[in-house]
A and B are shown apart, each in its own frame.
Chain A
């Protein structure tokens, strides 16, 4: 049996890989969108912070014997706190300047972090075991679905939709959205906007670290694991537009699937398909699919 001249195992296999990649695109572009919304900077360190999350899990396991489940909670907190420190000591000094300086600063930080880890751990990947509870696979009839991969997709969806719920349906979210529109006015109502900005950056960074822990068993732990990924995520963000959280989620998953399908039907273009889509979207809808041109 073949579908469009492709064996179904190959098709579903690549679709699954696409969904997994899409989960990470969604988680990372979500974090970027959250940070951009309030701080108006593009967090170039995001890829490095994703890598830090994975390394944090790796070190917790190998130095302290703390396993995957605790890491999933501890690593985002630790990396989130480093994010808060970065925001307080450096980024907060730049808000009055052109937003491009925030991009340059976070780019420099990414170089430092990735360089330090490459010095310490080399460039080859370090293995991280799938937790026992999630080993094995389900036979779906048409393909085998590894449990861990199913877990990644489900958790990523839950986290994305949870973030969306907080931002769009709760009082805290209303404050955040109001501060995005007009920080001075929100401050005048007695809300501590600088602290909210700091915590938002910390949360966005924690999301990246969370994605890093999730990725550790799949992609191995590698100092440069976030370096190329972040560029793809930038393209995802441009395609989706920064306008909405739901946009970041939908574009992330959608592009992951498209990339997976490209691997089946035209593998030569699988690395570039997202950039090509970006070019096409820019031609017809410069603000992105879900964005609004200001």
Chain B
């Protein structure tokens, strides 16, 4: 992903986080691991698994907007299509869960590559509109394709045995698998953001012309970021299909693309932990307000408006600002 471009030392040195930032992030990470460990004793494990899937989804989205400055309005296409492929692989091909998740993730990677080639040709608002339109195309494909089950989706996906050994119908085993995938994906994104590649990405976000003049092929970096983001979003979707034993049109609809924008915006664009917090808040809200139907949509709209007008740093962004640390 680093391409052939040599890394200039001053880029990574200039953006190196200060020592206490690293400490703060370590503490925040340990808190997160502790919550994941303790939470299933307090709340439903299935709810926590949902939060973790969406948190990973939001983190993947944030990799693109927060560090690459590209607002995708079509991330549902990765979540949803990877979910379909992983469900299909487990149910029809009879693959084990890890292979089914791998299939879904790879499929999202391919979609990201193709759609990315088109989308990165334009920037800013156009990028958002193009990704939205491409995702809508995938939505109609999923609606009509024979293997997706149309309005019903793919239901009753068997959970199977991990590596053919561990039975995932055991909720504790499933929980550990999801936690490992989430933390693995989270650390991968953390690593990407702090790698030389991540710093070039931030440079492109801040000033693309200057990055070009320094000799970076910005289109290749943007495409790589887009593919990484889409693939990790696909990993979240493929895992989610295994957890809920279901792949449906909800995950590929544009409202889902909007929700992931909202999660990230609420948690804090360009923060490491923001998307996780944002996803947890939004999923909790949906859980408690599910009975009120359209009110969920209205409240989400209100949060959007408030975040944009008065709360642009998001929850974690505000905390980090108050503590003068980067989280």
Q: Bound complex: CA of A100 vs CA of B123, how far in Å?
A: 11
Q: Bound complex: CA of A231 vs CA of B130, how far in Å?
A: 10
Q: Bound complex: CA of A282 vs CA of B125, how far in Å?
A: 15
* Residue in B121, B265, B308 with the greatest tally of chain A CB atoms within 10 Å: B308
Is residue B163 within 8 Å, beta carbon to beta carbon, of the partner chain? Answer: no
Which of B26-34, B40-48, B137-145, B150-158 touches A? B137-145
User: Min CB distance, B202 to chain A, in Å?
Assistant: 15
Complex contact A108–B305 (CB within 8 A): yes
Q: Bound complex: CA of A134 vs CA of B261, how far in Å?
A: 45
Interface positions of A from 115 to 161, Cβ below 8 Å from B: 115-116, 118-119
Complex contact A119–B298 (CB within 8 A): yes
- List A contacts of B303 (CB < 8 A): 108
Is residue A60 within 8 Å, beta carbon to beta carbon, of the partner chain? Answer: no
Complex contact A275–B136 (CB within 8 A): yes
Which of B88-96, B280-288, B289-297, B313-321 touches A? B289-297
Complex contact A231–B133 (CB within 8 A): yes
Q: Check A119/B128 contact, CB under 8 A, given A111-B258, A275-B134.
A: no
Q: Bound complex: CA of A100 vs CA of B126, how far in Å?
A: 10
Cβ 8 A contact of B294, one of A94, A109, A118, A234 = A118
0 or 1 for each of A224-260: is its CB under 8 Å from B? (1 = yes)? 0000100110110110000000000000000000000
- List A contacts of B134 (CB < 8 A): 275, 279
Q: Bound complex: CA of A175 vs CA of B236, how far in Å?
A: 50
Cβ 8 A contact of A112, one of B126, B258, B302, B308 = B302
Cβ 8 A contact of B133, one of A116, A118, A235 = A235
User: Min CB distance, B107 to chain A, in Å?
Assistant: 18
Is residue B309 within 8 Å, beta carbon to beta carbon, of the partner chain? Answer: yes
Q: Bound complex: CA of A286 vs CA of B141, how far in Å?
A: 24
- List A contacts of B294 (CB < 8 A): 115-116, 118-119
Q: Which single residue of chain B is at the shortest CB-CB distance from A274? A: B133
Complex contact B129–A115 (CB within 8 A): no
Complex contact B304–A42 (CB within 8 A): no
Cβ 8 A contact of A272, one of B121, B141, B295 = B141
Cβ 8 A contact of A111, one of B144, B265, B293, B300 = B300
Q: Check A100/B133 contact, CB under 8 A, given A105-B305, A109-B305, A110-B301.
A: no
Is residue A271 within 8 Å, beta carbon to beta carbon, of the partner chain? Answer: yes
Is residue A16 within 8 Å, beta carbon to beta carbon, of the partner chain? Answer: no
Complex contact B140–A104 (CB within 8 A): no
Is residue A166 within 8 Å, beta carbon to beta carbon, of the partner chain? Answer: no
Is residue A85 within 8 Å, beta carbon to beta carbon, of the partner chain? Answer: no
0 or 1 for each of A264-288: is its CB under 8 Å from B? (1 = yes)? 0000100110011011001100100
Is residue A90 within 8 Å, beta carbon to beta carbon, of the partner chain? Answer: yes
Cβ 8 A contact of A238, one of B129, B141, B302, B307 = B129
Main SS at interface, chain B: helix
Complex contact A100–B128 (CB within 8 A): yes
Is residue B312 within 8 Å, beta carbon to beta carbon, of the partner chain? Answer: yes
Q: Which single residue of chain A is at the shortest CB-CB distance from B308? A: A105
Is residue B122 within 8 Å, beta carbon to beta carbon, of the partner chain? Answer: yes
Cβ 8 A contact of B136, one of A93, A94, A231 = A231
Q: Check A108/B301 contact, CB under 8 A, given A238-B129, A272-B137.
A: yes
Is residue A28 within 8 Å, beta carbon to beta carbon, of the partner chain? Answer: no
Is residue B71 within 8 Å, beta carbon to beta carbon, of the partner chain? Answer: yes
Is residue A10 within 8 Å, beta carbon to beta carbon, of the partner chain? Answer: no
Cβ 8 A contact of A275, one of B121, B128, B133 = B133
0 or 1 for each of B232-275: is its CB under 8 Å from A? (1 = yes)? 00000000000000000000001000100100010000000000
Interface positions of A from 90 to 110, Cβ below 8 Å from B: 90, 93-94, 97, 99-101, 103-105, 107-110
Complex contact B265–A115 (CB within 8 A): no
User: Min CB distance, B226 to chain A, in Å?
Assistant: 14
Q: Check A234/B118 contact, CB under 8 A, given A101-B312, A107-B258, A110-B301.
A: no
Complex contact A119–B293 (CB within 8 A): yes
Interface positions of B from 22 to 71, Cβ below 8 Å from A: 71
- List A contacts of B103 (CB < 8 A): none
Taking A103-B128, A276-B137 as known contacts, 7 extra A-B pairs with beta carbons closer than 8 A to each other, sorted by chain A number, are A104-B261, A232-B133, A234-B129, A275-B133, A278-B130, A278-B133, A279-B134
21 A-B pairs with CB atoms under 8 Å apart are A41-B125, A103-B73, A104-B261, A104-B304, A105-B304, A105-B305, A108-B300, A108-B304, A108-B305, A110-B301, A115-B297, A116-B298, A119-B294, A232-B133, A238-B129, A271-B144, A272-B140, A275-B133, A282-B121, A282-B122, A286-B122
Top-3 shortest CB links A-B: A108-B304, A111-B301, A112-B301
Chain B residues packing against A (C-beta within 8 Å): 71, 73, 118, 121-122, 124-126, 128-130, 132-134, 136-137, 140-141, 143-144, 254, 258, 261, 265, 293-298, 300-305, 307-309, 312
Chain A residues packing against B (C-beta within 8 Å): 36, 41-42, 90, 93-94, 97, 99-101, 103-105, 107-116, 118-119, 228, 231-232, 234-235, 237-238, 268, 271-272, 275-276, 278-279, 282-283, 286
